[in-house]
Amino acid sequence: ALVPAIIVSGLPDDRFSFEGFLPQKKGRMTKLKSLAEEDRTMIFYESPHRLLKSLTQFAEYFGSDRQVSVSREISKLHEETVRGSIAELIIHFTENEPRGEFVIIVGGNEHD
């Protein structure tokens, strides 16, 4: 699922880091803190009931203006990809209940 998700994300796909599922409790904040300065595109898997929590934590650690793409149900009937800033996607998934399994693609830190 990660290859189609990164292709449709519109984010740089020449260098990326596959992070999979974040730890649920122990080590989660440490992991996010360690990824804050990552300049490669990052790929995460997430379940629907933790999607908003993860996006909110991404905003806290990566900045709410960081570009992100969230794809669900890749290669299935209800396939969907939503792109924008982390803040925009938090609003989207607050208004539209997350369903299905998700691939989250987060743009790397641009070090401006």
Q: What pLDDT was estimated at residue 112?
A: 62
Q: What pLDDT was estimated at residue 84?
A: 98
Q: How many domains does the chain have?
A: 1
**Which pair of tokens denotes residue 37?**
């300065």
How many angstroms separate the CA atoms of 104 and 111, rounded? Answer: 21
Residue 95 lies in a domain: yes
Residue 111 lies in a domain: no
Residue 6 lies in a domain: yes
10-residue mean pLDDT series, the chain (112 residues): 92 95 92 96 97 98 98 88 98 95 95 68
Tell me, what CATH number does 62's domain have?
Answer: 3.30.950.10
Structural domain for 75, as ranges: 2-106
